[in-house]
Amino acid sequence: MREIILYFINFTWRYNMKYAIILIDGMADEKIEKLNYKTPFEVAKTPNIDKLAKEATFGTFLTLPDEFPTSSDVANMSVLGWDLKRSYTGRGAVESYGAGILMTPDMVAFRMNLITVKDGLIEDYSAGHISEEEARVLIDYLKENLDTEEMFMGQGVSYRHLLYFKGEKYSPNIAYEKPDSSHGIEWETILPKALDEKAKLTEEKLIKLVYKSKELLENHPINIKRVKEGKNPANIVWPWSGGGKPDMQTFYEMYNKKGAIVSAVDVILGLGRLGEMDIDKPEGATGFIDTNYENKAIAAVELLKKNDFVYLHVEAVDECGHMGDLEKKIDAIESVDKRLVGKFLEVYYKEIGEEIRIMILPDHPVPIRLRQHTRDKVPFMVWGKNVKVDENIKEYNEETCKNGKYTNLKGRELMDLLFANEEI
């Protein structure tokens, strides 16, 4: 009987209310002298977000707790309310699900970047954002030469790939450095390191792979061509964040709502697949500033037709932060506002038009000054149905949210706020 009542409550609710999170990866930043002590987000022209912010409520949320890496998978798992202690194993595993490669319990997956090293230092975590086509040729070449039954690579997108170990004798218990946090560091001093006796064999194989990849890639025709064109060569691989098969609750189990995810990047799509959500990577979604923002907004509305909740993730701004490119970061934020937020609102009201609650937030800061993620709490705003307007705050940014009504949220408190039946 309880199930039937719950079903009907949920059924009616579903037709009355939709929910969306627009997740602007890496948007938060610091006040910058060159911008008259404003943040890139404050300086960017964002008329659509500004309009919503006039009728919103605000707060801050902890996405990167101290005991976990400062990685986007951790941050987005936090936003979506998964219990990190129970579910987090490593980025490789999450991305593997994003790429559609499901794992068995005897597998360990590492994320593997194609990167650029120069004069012994890590020069570029993304090998100049190498194209999908070029990366495919290089990974195929590495696979032909290095894959075995027990250790093999998986194709991802651009510079983002995967490395698997299969067999009980391998272990994810490996200390690593994130390539996007290691610019200018001597790569040979930060190679993967076993954290216990059992992981020694895995460490040995990882290190051998890194050196072998350098031999194979250095003089590959694609890299010779890239250097001639003034681009960074993909001259070594960098494995990091290994993990076994994650144990995750489905989104429906957690919230009794049907959820969906739109993203360009495997790590976010992987979370969706693990949570048994609908996922979509629309045509032209690249995870970079050349992404098709409009198509992502349209895809999100499409998914909301048969779901209660959509998570619309956009990566471009994060990449500009890692590149340390202030102008591009501001540009990307403006594109997100105009072509993604604006488009989403336009298409949503044309095609669905039911009452909705929309939350906007980044998953973590990537200050231009540091070019890497920091653990600062992220600012968020919620607008829409049953949201009590915060009369004291008229703008959404890093500073104003600190005085919002909902500060220092953590764990699943953010999603519970979004889904709260009562006025918030």
Q: Which residues here bind Zn ion, judged by CB under 5 A? A: 25-26, 72, 318, 363
CB of 287 to Zn ion, least distance (A): 11
CB of 364 to Zn ion, least distance (A): 6
CB of 70 to Zn ion, least distance (A): 9
Rounded-to-integer distance, Cα 388 and Cα 157, Å: 42
Q: Of the two residues 155 and 374, which places its CB atom closer to Zn ion in the complex?
A: 374
Q: Is 394 helix (H, G, I), strand (E, B) or coil?
A: coil
Rounded-to-integer distance, Cα 48 and Cα 353, Å: 17
Q: Of the two residues 20 and 77, which places its CB atom closer to Zn ion in the complex?
A: 77
Rounded-to-integer distance, Cα 408 and Cα 66, Å: 14
Q: Of the two residues 123 and 363, which places its CB atom closer to Zn ion in the complex?
A: 363
- Torsion angle, alpha carbons of 72, 408, 313, 349, to 10: 180
CB of 320 to Zn ion, least distance (A): 12
Q: Of the two residues 93 and 117, which places its CB atom closer to Zn ion in the complex?
A: 93
Q: Of the two residues 30 and 203, which places its CB atom closer to Zn ion in the complex?
A: 30
Rounded-to-integer distance, Cα 193 and Cα 191, Å: 6
Rounded-to-integer distance, Cα 213 and Cα 153, Å: 12
Rounded-to-integer distance, Cα 106 and Cα 92, Å: 14
Q: Of the two residues 308 and 363, which places its CB atom closer to Zn ion in the complex?
A: 363
CB of 281 to Zn ion, least distance (A): 17
CB of 294 to Zn ion, least distance (A): 22
Strands (E), 71-166: 107-118, 121-124, 151-157, 160-166
Reported as type and span, the H/E element at residue 23 is: strand 18-24
Residue nearest to Zn ion (CB): 72
CB of 60 to Zn ion, least distance (A): 17
Q: Of the two residues 203 and 363, which places its CB atom closer to Zn ion in the complex?
A: 363
Q: Of the two residues 26 and 243, which places its CB atom closer to Zn ion in the complex?
A: 26
Q: Is 127 helix (H, G, I), strand (E, B) or coil?
A: coil
Rounded-to-integer distance, Cα 111 and Cα 97, Å: 12
CB of 133 to Zn ion, least distance (A): 25
CB of 272 to Zn ion, least distance (A): 15
Rounded-to-integer distance, Cα 226 and Cα 26, Å: 28
Task: Show the CA angle centred on residue 361, arms to residues 393 and 295, nearest 5°.
Answer: 125
Q: Of the two residues 61 and 164, which places its CB atom closer to Zn ion in the complex?
A: 61
What is the full DSSP assignment across 207-275? HHHHHHHHHHHHT-HHHHHHHHTTPPP--EEEEEEEE-------HHHHHSS-EEEE-SSHHHHHHHHHT
Do 151 and 219 contact (CB within 8 A), yes or no?
Answer: no
3-state helix, strand, coil in the chain (%, to 5): 40, 20, 40
Between the alpha carbon of residue 389 and those of residues 18, 352, 392, the distances in Å are 19, 24, 9
Q: Of the two residues 244 and 362, which places its CB atom closer to Zn ion in the complex?
A: 362
Q: Of the two residues 70 and 223, which places its CB atom closer to Zn ion in the complex?
A: 70
Phi/psi zone of residue 230: left (φ > 0), alpha (ψ -120 to 50 degrees), beta? left
CB of 291 to Zn ion, least distance (A): 15
Task: Show the CA angle centred on residue 64, arms to residues 40 and 34, nearest 5°.
Answer: 20
CB of 386 to Zn ion, least distance (A): 29
Between the alpha carbon of residue 387 and those of residues 252, 304, 396, 417, the distances in Å are 24, 20, 15, 10
